[in-house]
Amino acid sequence: MKLLTTRRARAAAESGAHGCSVLAAGLTVVGDIETEGTVRIDGRLEGSVRRAGSIIIGVDAVVQGNVAAREVVVGGSVQGNINAVDRVELQTTSVVTGDVEANAVLIQEGATLRGRMCVRHRGDASHEQPRHAAATDNAAESVAVPTPLASGAR
């Protein structure tokens, strides 16, 4: 039993080593954020997330700046570029005005993206760490997202 308890304690310590930070609804932060952990934004950020493990942008949240992280989940509004090492998820309530770059992208029906989307090849070692989200790579492969035809058009 002691071995199981020790493993659980070690796993909990490792997963929480970098912690989780929350920018609560009604809170406005002006400036950039850097962390190795997880950040949940439910308020307003006027600045960039320069580096993070995971970023969760809540339904009513607004980010005016670039976002660079390992994983990004957007439910609110981002006015800036998003660059993720692993994946980006745009939920149905999300509105992104900027470019999205990641190894994997999930766009739920109803999400809005006003910008370019670049899905990298997983084996591309040059993109292991997120670049500053403002940087662009003209040699990157872009993927077009089809839009449904208007009613009656064929």
pLDDT at 45: 97
With respect to residue 91, please indicate whether it lies within any of the assigned structural domains.
yes
With respect to residue 132, please indicate whether it lies within any of the assigned structural domains.
no
Task: Assess whether pLDDT exceeds 60 at residue 10.
Answer: no
pTM for this model (two decimals): 0.71
Domain that holds residue 88: 20-127
With respect to residue 68, please indicate whether it lies within any of the assigned structural domains.
yes
Look up residue 110 and give its two tokens.
Answer: 């109803």
With respect to residue 30, please indicate whether it lies within any of the assigned structural domains.
yes
With respect to residue 84, please indicate whether it lies within any of the assigned structural domains.
yes
Residues 6+ apart with CB under 8 A from 116: 99, 100, 142
With respect to residue 143, please indicate whether it lies within any of the assigned structural domains.
no
Higher pLDDT, 88 or 17: 88
With respect to residue 147, please indicate whether it lies within any of the assigned structural domains.
no
Q: Say how many domains are in the chain.
A: 1
Average pLDDT score over the chain: 80
With respect to residue 53, please indicate whether it lies within any of the assigned structural domains.
yes
pLDDT digits (tens, 9 = 90+) for 68-119: 999 999 999 999 999 999 999 999 999 999 999 999 999 999 999 999 999 9
